[in-house]
Structure 1
Amino acid sequence: MTIVSVIVPVYREGATINPIIDHLHAGLSPEDEILVVDGAMELDTLHQLRSPRPCRVASLPGRAVQMNRGAEQARGDILLFVHADTLLPDGWRDMIVQALSDPRVVAGAFELRIHHPALWFRIIERTANLRTRFTRVPYGDQALFFRTDYFRSLRGFPEISIMEDVAIMAGIRRRGDRIALVKHPVHTSARRWEKEGVVWGTLRNWGLRILYHLGVDPGILVRFYRRHA
């Protein structure tokens, strides 16, 4: 029996968390689990949870820290990390299990779709998916999944301020281990682009990724990211 642990890092997501949890529950098997990891001091998202099923985990803030905290408590054979504004495709559980049925595959992700009708978002999606196919380095908003024993052998996500998703996936790629790309998209919210502007948000994200790959400290990059987010 394969057990899937879904880890959802949150920070003040009380207004939207319950629909996401209901969505995840609909795709799980009875033996699976959801861990909601709250990085806010007030734990306001955990207090808003209606369902008794998720495991409630308090954590220090920081997405990498929160995801690692959830992984420490998870009991599944597979770890799936889902952002609180992301919806998974129908049948996602079977897709993950199938992808990891190949013993050479240690991790994976889905294709990306942004939940907004504007043409500009179709361009962003296509660019992101082409980049992922070429580099084999997916990002966190594509719902990353791992074999639990492999993830723990890496000691989890690097606990850096930003780009922890790129860091872990690029590390797997350098090791020569295989990352599966599921050809079905997750749907992620366009709320950040809507808040800060599509063009600015896109150019800012591209710029941060370039600077990260050039070796700029994530502690510097995150200050710029948060200032404009």
Structure 2
Amino acid sequence: MAEAAGCPLSVIVPALDEAAGIAATLEPLQVWRERGAEVLVVDGGSGDGTPEAAAPGADRVLGGARGRAPQMNAGAAAAGGRVLLFLHADTRPPEDGDRALLTALEGGRHWGRFDVRLTGASRLTLLGLVGAMMNLRSRLTGIATGDQALFVTRAAFRAVGGFPEQPLMEDIALSRLLKKHCGRPACLRERALTSSRRWEDRGILRTIGLMWALRLRYWLGADPAVLAARYHRG
């Protein structure tokens, strides 16, 4: 799609069976819409009424092939903004994150991400430590995860071919491409708030071990489909 005149930012939210929480995710984006951003929700075939729940808070609700990467690519193809922000359906962005990211990209960077905080976390809890380590690891490696609300200029996203359409680690794969072709990301201190449900449901220490093991195997060249099957087994 051609860039919409005057549209600085497109927020793309991939969703699947998120009817219970999608309105809360979209609520803080309404101020962004007033400042010129557009919000696109890309549904992957929900059976719980997610598209209907999302419609009041979005400019458009699109359908896409199921899978976070293809859904985000479909949203990017339909978006009109000069900058694309990919926001997970269980993540709330910083209040003035739109202004912060646009300012950061004015400095010559092509992409970036926010720091992250897990719901229910404080600095003195294990969840707080998990979030702090995610942010530190990202800052040191120049690799962003989807929980950190990755943003990128449309030009850079197109130049690297978008998200590789793989079933897991698509955020890491895109980060690698962007880092190689566009340099390191802008690592913003403003914090996105992301749900800790997977950590709490599976056990915090167990989830830490699982994610580190999956990342190591991915770095060593394991098939993302195999890793996705292991991830979903918990």
TM-score, structure 2 length as denominator? 0.92
| 1:36–1:55 contact (8 Å) kept in structure 2 | yes
1:161 alignment partner in structure 2: 167
**2: CA distance between counterparts of 1:18 and 1:52?**
7
Superposed CA deviations along residues 64-108 of structure 1, whole A, max 9, x for unmatched, are: 0000000000000010000111111121111011011022x1100
Match of residue 60 from structure 1: 65
Give aligned-pair identity as a percent: 35
Matched, 1:113 2:117: yes
Moved more, 174-183 or 83-92: 174-183
Q: In structure 2, which of residues 43, 54, 68 is the aligned counterpart of residue 49 of structure 1?
A: 54
> Gaps spanning 5+ residues in structure 1: where?
none
Equivalent position of 2:94 in the other structure: 89
Q: Does 1:172 align with 2:183?
A: no
| TM-score of the aligned structures, taking structure 1 as reference length | 0.94
Q: How many residues align?
A: 227
**Residues of 2 paired with 1:18 and 1:160: CA distance?**
28
Query: Post-superposition shift, 1:30?
Result: 4.5
SS in 2 for 1:178: coil
Which residue number in structure 2 is paired with residue 209 of structure 1? 215
RMSD, aligned α-carbons:
1.6
Q: Does the residue aligned with 1:210 lie in a helix, a strand or coil?
A: helix
Distance 2:166 2:79 in 1: 21
Following TM superposition, by how much is the alpha carbon of 1:52 offset from its aligned partner in structure 2, in angstroms?
6.1
Q: Distance in 1 between matches of 2:115 and 2:191?
A: 4
Distance 1:134 1:54, change over 3 A: same
SS at match of 1:89: coil
Relative distance call for 1:51 and 1:74 in structure 2 (3 A) is: same
**Contact preservation (8 Å) 1:76, 1:148:** yes
Correspondence for 1:148: 154
- SS of equivalent to 2:80: coil
